[in-house]
């Protein structure tokens, strides 16, 4: 997990604008998943723009209501850590009472 930078604001297009840190500005990051400090995926990097010395990243969000993340640090999930996070989230997945996984019960009257 590498630091991408700090979220500055949400653009009118709905994308998040991130001021990239110097360490990540030289890496190829377009298309990489972006996560917050808790490990939840925020979205994917769509484009890099601005001056070479201090570039910005545009992130296409993968979920709604991201206004609370403005002003915080975000990170690039490398492939290994991203697979682990996805696997852990699937292990903790709980089904609702409506979906019984194909098992049907008769109601008692």
Report which DSSP code applies to 108: P
pLDDT over 90, % of the chain: 42
- CA-CA distance, 89 to 61, in Å (whole number)? 19
Rounded to whole angstroms, how far apart are CA atoms 84 and 36? Answer: 15
Report the CATH fold assignment for 2-82. Answer: Thrombin, subunit H (2.40.10)
E strands, 1-109, where? 2-10, 16-20, 33-35, 41-49, 56-61, 73-76
Q: What pLDDT, on a 0 to 100 scale, did the predictor assign at position 91?
A: 55
pLDDT tens per residue, range 71-96? 999 999 876 665 565 555 555 545 44
Give the range among 38-47, 53-62, 77-86 with minimum mean pLDDT: 77-86
CA distance 65 to 21: 24
- Domain coordinates of the chain in residue numbers? 2-82
Per DSSP, the three-state class of 20 is: strand
Q: How far is Cα 109 from Cα 101, in angstroms, rounded to an integer? A: 23
């Amino acid at each position: 997990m590498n630091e991408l930078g700090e979220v500055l604001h949400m653009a009118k297009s709905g994308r998040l604008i991130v001021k990239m840190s110097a360490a990540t500005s030289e890496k190829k990051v377009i298309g990489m998943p972006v996560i917050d400090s808790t490990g939840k995926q925020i979205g994917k990097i769509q484009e890099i723009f601005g001056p070479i010395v201090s570039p910005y990243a545009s992130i296409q969000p993968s979920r709604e209501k991201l206004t609370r993340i403005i002003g915080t640090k975000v990170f690039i999930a490398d492939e290994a850590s991203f697979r682990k996070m996805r696997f852990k989230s699937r292990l903790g997945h709980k089904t609702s009472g409506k979906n019984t996984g194909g098992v049907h019960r008769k109601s008692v009257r």
